[in-house]
A and B are shown apart, each in its own frame.
Chain A
Amino acid sequence: MRNAFAKEVTRLAKKSSKLVLLSGDIGNRLFDDYKAIPNSNFINCGIAEANMMGVAAGLAMSKLKPIIYTITPFTTTRCLEQIRVDACYHDVPVIIVGTGSGLSYASLGPTHHSLEDFAIFRAIPNLTILAPSDGVELKKCLNEALKLDSPVYMRIGKKGEEIITDKSLKLKIGKSVTHKKGNDVCLIGTGTIMPEVIKAAEKLENKNVSVHIERFHTIKPLDKNSLRKIFKKFSLISVVEEHSQIGGLYGAIAEWRSLEKYHYNTRVLSFGTKDEFMHDIGSQHYARRKYGLDSQNIYKKTYSAFKK
């Protein structure tokens, strides 16, 4: 995904001199092509994210289009107040890209995990929250984000994510995507965990369960219309996210549902990380299994709930 980001941002910089890419001293060689473009604007702000966010807001207030790129915890919680005040209170178009999100950097330890970003950002006014699942969706998200005149947070993975997005998809911010239609159960997913969701669906289908898959590349604004249709149709929905079970996509859906006038007779399962820091270190796959975010567990839990 990060290569797709570098490629797309380079393509866009050739078209617009308003684009300013700010990096927090990461992405060694990643942006060489970008930097090679005559008059392209690249600023390595160093390891000083609070300042970088303020600088980006200052650029955006001056009618430029800054994009910030660094490892997720450092472009989110590290400089949260600058995001809240400088970008969101001023409501200026800063695009905040967090790379290595969720458990992508599982082996680097909890300082590099980002499992609270949806929860924290959802409560901040004016901020759009995007979580593309692969390089294709990322490019579409970035292009749509640049059309907005307000701040955007985009949470991306690392490299080599499986492509699951249809290239012809007409992506619209705030509008979920039906990845696959089905009739018995619905799996809702967001971001780079999608391949596990798709594999879980395959396992369910092998058991003759017809599965609908809905992908939420936008966490905020939440696609309520899509949720209404899904909740009316399905009595079992599993929500999967590489994020804490507190305050993420599941949390957003639960909040929405509790305020709906209509009473949905739907059971919802939440697949996310627990309310804890992960002290036993391993690969992303290990971390996903630990928190039940692997396809096998999603399949097993969903299937057993379906059978009840």
Chain B
Amino acid sequence: MKILELKKKAAIARSRIIMNSHKTNTPHLGSCLSCVDILIALYFSKLKINLNDINSLSRDRFILSKGHGAAALFQILAMRGFYSEELLNDYGQDGSVFAEHPPAPDYLPGIEAATGSLGHGLPIGLGMALASRITDNPYHVYVLLGDGECNEGSIWEAANMASAQSMDNLTVFIDSNKWQATDRSKDLLGNPSHVDKWEAFGWNTYEIDGNDMQEITKVLAKKPKKAKPTAVIANTVKGSGISFMEDDNNWHYRIPTFDEVKLAFNELSIDL
């Protein structure tokens, strides 16, 4: 898919995520908007998926380890055709499968792992990547982490082991939007350089603008380095794409009013 089309998809996804937040009181808008471009690029230009056989053992896997970005993932899975967009009408209703975090895989097509508690997605993804090697069934595993999520020790346990096991079928995106729930990431993480950290753990590392479709697709087109896992430090903006939400951490929890939805749609050039 061409860059322009991917950008258009990302704009549509943003509009749906914002409208859904308004309608259903779903928070974490800032976190969803920072990773939308990466999700769109993965689902529409990279992941090896067969919609007629979504559980095919040779499919590529994607795990949204920062599970609070689920509102973005749910919209994009529907856009990609894993389920009908009407299913999303249940969103926010009692008894719905759409929690604020991804449900267990048996409960919604396209979900690879139920996340929400941070620091779980990378070890699970590493297990899936190892399974590819053990079963001699080549596929690639992508895991999206939040930069705040990298506070969790289990991420670094997995980072060590993935490197020791030479997992070249494992790619991690760090959605580095520089904010955690209540603070600037750099104030909590010590050395703010993710590049230094992942390189020190033996990963092949790239740094990109994670809200620039051109840069995302370019990094996805690179051949994995032999015997090394890949970490893409994606510098993103929390609330990316909507001027009044960008880098304003209030949008970790705030719900947009209808007037704000209108403004956002206007900025995205999407008809309400």
Please give the residue numbers on chain A whose beta carbons come within 8 Å of chain B beta carbons, in ascending order.
Answer: 17, 20, 41, 43, 45-46, 48, 50-64, 66, 81-82, 85-86, 89-91
A45 vs B157: C-alpha distance when bound (angstroms) = 9
A48-B161, A54-B124 known; A82 vs B154 contact (CB < 8 Å): yes
Q: A45-B161, A89-B114 are in contact. Are A51 and B130 (CB under 8 A)?
A: no
CA distance A43 to B160 in the complex (A): 14
Q: Mark B113-151, 1 if CB is under 8 A from A, else 0.
A: 110010110111111111110110000000000000000
The 22 listed contacts between A and B (C-beta, < 8 Å) are: A20-B130, A50-B157, A51-B157, A51-B161, A53-B123, A54-B124, A55-B127, A55-B161, A58-B113, A58-B131, A59-B130, A59-B134, A61-B124, A61-B127, A61-B131, A62-B132, A64-B134, A66-B127, A81-B117, A82-B120, A82-B154, A85-B120
**Complex: how many Å from CA A82 to CA B152?**
13
Asked if B123 and A90 make an inter-chain contact with CB atoms under 8 angstroms apart, the answer reads: no
Q: Which 9 A-B pairs have the closest CB atoms?
A: A58-B127, A54-B123, A62-B131, A51-B157, A48-B157, A55-B127, A58-B124, A50-B154, A58-B128
| Closest chain A residue to B63, Cβ basis | A58
Interface string of B51-62 (1 = CB under 8 A from A): 000000100000
Contacting residues, chain B, for A48 (C-beta < 8 A): 154, 157-158, 160-161
- Cβ contact within 8 Å between A54 and B114: no
Contacting residues, chain A, for B157 (C-beta < 8 A):
46, 48, 50-51
Central interface residue in B106, B113, B160, B164, by most chain A CB within 10 Å: B113
Per the bound structure, the CA–CA distance linking A48 and B64 in Å amounts to: 22
Q: Are A20 and B134 in contact (CB under 8 A)?
A: yes
Residue in B105, B154, B158 whose CB lies within 8 Å of A61 = B105
Given contacts A45-B161, A61-B128, A62-B127, 16 further A-B contacts (CB under 8 A): A46-B161, A48-B158, A50-B119, A51-B123, A51-B154, A54-B124, A57-B123, A58-B113, A58-B131, A59-B127, A61-B105, A62-B57, A62-B128, A62-B135, A81-B117, A90-B105
Of the residues A46, A57, A91, contact of B127 by C-beta under 8 Å: A57
Contact (A54, B127) CB under 8 Å given A20-B134, A46-B160: yes
B190 interface residue per 8 A CB criterion: no
With A and B bound together, what is the CA distance between A60 and B122 in angstroms?
Answer: 15
Report the nearest A residue to B124, measured CB to CB.
Answer: A58
Contact with A along B257-272 (1 / 0, CB 8 A): 0000000000000000
Could you tell me the distance in whole angstroms from the C-beta of B145 to the nearest C-beta in chain A? 13
Query: Which residues of chain A come closer than 8 Å to B153, judged between CB atoms?
Result: 50
Interface residue tally for chain B (C-beta within 8 Å):
31
Measured CB to CB, the nearest residue on chain A to B165 is: A43
**B residues near A81, Cβ cutoff 8 Å:** 117, 120
Q: How far, in angstroms, from A59 to B128 measured CA to CA in the complex?
A: 5
How far does the Cβ of A130 sit from chain B's closest Cβ, in whole Å?
Answer: 23
Complex interface: chain A residues within 8 A of B200 (CB) = none
Give the Cβ gap from B252 to chain A, nearest Cβ, in Å.
22
Is B181 on the interface with A (CB-CB < 8 A)? no
A84 and B154 CA atoms in complex are apart in Å by: 15
- Report the minimum CB–CB distance from B169 to chain A (whole Å): 12
Question: Could you tell me which B residues sit within 8 Å of A by CB distance?
Answer: 57, 104-106, 112-114, 117, 119-120, 122-132, 134-135, 153-154, 157-158, 160-161, 164-165
Cα(A62)–Cα(B132), bound, Å = 8
**Looking across the interface, which residue of chain B has its beta carbon closest to that of A41?**
B134
Bound-state Cα–Cα, A47 to B144, Å: 25
Whether A61 contacts B113 in the complex (CB less than 8 A), given A53-B123, A86-B120, comes out as yes
Given that A54-B120, A54-B126, A85-B120 are contacting pairs, would A64 and B114 also be in contact in the complex, using a CB cutoff of 8 Å? no
Residue of A whose beta carbon sits closest to that of B116: A85
Complex: A45 Cα to B130 Cα, angstroms: 12
B124 touches A57 (CB 8 A): yes
Question: Could you say which residues of chain A place their CB within 8 Å of the CB of B135?
Answer: 62-64
On chain A, the residues within 8 Å of B160 by CB distance are 46, 48, 51
Residues of A within 8 A of B117 (CB): 81, 85
Judging by beta carbons under 8 Å apart, are B130 and A58 in contact? Answer: yes
Provide the bound-state CA to CA distance between A89 and B103, in Å. 9
A57-B127, A85-B120, A86-B123 are known contacts. Are A51 and B158 too (CB-CB below 8 A)? yes
Q: Are B134 and A55 in contact (CB under 8 A)?
A: no
Are A63 and B57 interface neighbours, CB within 8 A? yes
Query: What residues on B are CB-neighbors of A56 within 8 Å?
Result: 127
On chain B, the residues within 8 Å of A59 by CB distance are 127-128, 130-131, 134
Distance, CA A17 to CA B105, complexed state (A): 25
**Shortest beta-carbon distance from A63 to chain B in Å:** 7
Contact B123 A55 (CB under 8 A): yes
| A43 closest partner in B (C-beta) | B130
Q: Looking at the assembled complex, report how far the CB atom of B155 sits from the nearest CB atom of chain A, in whole angstroms.
A: 9
Which residue of A has the minimal Cβ distance to B127? A58
Chain B residues with Cβ below 8 Å from A82 are: 120, 123, 154
Whether A91 touches B131, Cβ cut-off 8 Å, given contacts A45-B161, A48-B160, A53-B123, is: no
* B125 & A90 in contact (Cβ 8 Å cutoff): no
